[in-house]
Structure 1
Amino acid sequence: MVRKQLRIKNISGLHLRPTGMLCNEAIKYQSSIQIVTGSTTANAKSVLSILGACVKCGDEIELICEGNDEEEALAAVAGLIESGLGE
């Protein structure tokens, strides 16, 4: 299992468009990918799960990957989040 702390840069937080981009990247990997914010855990491969977490701009999240390709998954998904998810 690998983890990384990240801060959400998107002005509007994780709304539908950036969440869709994040999910499209996450589903490329076999590993389980979770987003933890406060007491909420969201499946990074589910748009509804992420939207339900109500992640806002400036929120601190923890990205947790577990599986065969966990290192690659963490690097790719964290890189996408750090880049601002296209915004």
Structure 2
Amino acid sequence: MITKIFTVSNKLGIHARPAGMIVDITGQAKSDVSIVFEGSKANAKSILNVMMLAIPAGSEVKFEIDGDDEELVVQQLEKLFDDHFNEEPC
């Protein structure tokens, strides 16, 4: 299992479009992927679960990835967060 913390660095936080981008990555994964924010844990393969966390800009989120392709999933999530979800950074 890999645990990785990311900082949400786009101005609008994780709204519908970034949540969809996360699910595009996690939904294709063979691994189980959870997202944790302020003590709430959600299935990162569900756009509704990700959006319900209401993660604002500047927040830290933790991903827990467990499975055969966990390293690939972490790499893809790192790129997504590093690119600020292709939005304006904070």
Q: What is the TM-score when the length of structure 2 is the normalising length?
A: 0.89
Q: Distance in 1 between matches of 2:55 and 2:78?
A: 15
Kindly report structure 1 stretches of 4+ aligned residues shifted beyond 3 Å. Answer: none
**Aligned residue in 2 for 1:32:** 32
2:62 and 2:82 map into 1 onto residues whose CA distance is 13
Match of 1:65 in 2: 65
Instruction: Tell me, in whole angstroms, the C-alpha distance in 2 between the residues paired with 1:40 and 1:79.
Output: 24
Instruction: Give the number of equivalent residue pairs.
Output: 87
Q: Which residue of 1 aligns with 2:21?
A: 21
Counterpart residue number, 1:42: 42
Give the whole-Å Cα distance in 1 for the aligned partners of 2:78 and 2:37: 15
Secondary structure at the aligned position of 2:79 is classed as helix
The letter for the 2-side match of 1:62 is: K
CA contact (8 A) 1:44 1:50 kept: yes
Q: Deviations over 1:5-44 (max 9, x none)?
A: 1110111110001111111111121001111111111211
Q: CA RMSD in A?
A: 1.0
Which ranges in structure 2 are unaligned for 5 or more consecutive residues?
none
Residue identity (%): 30
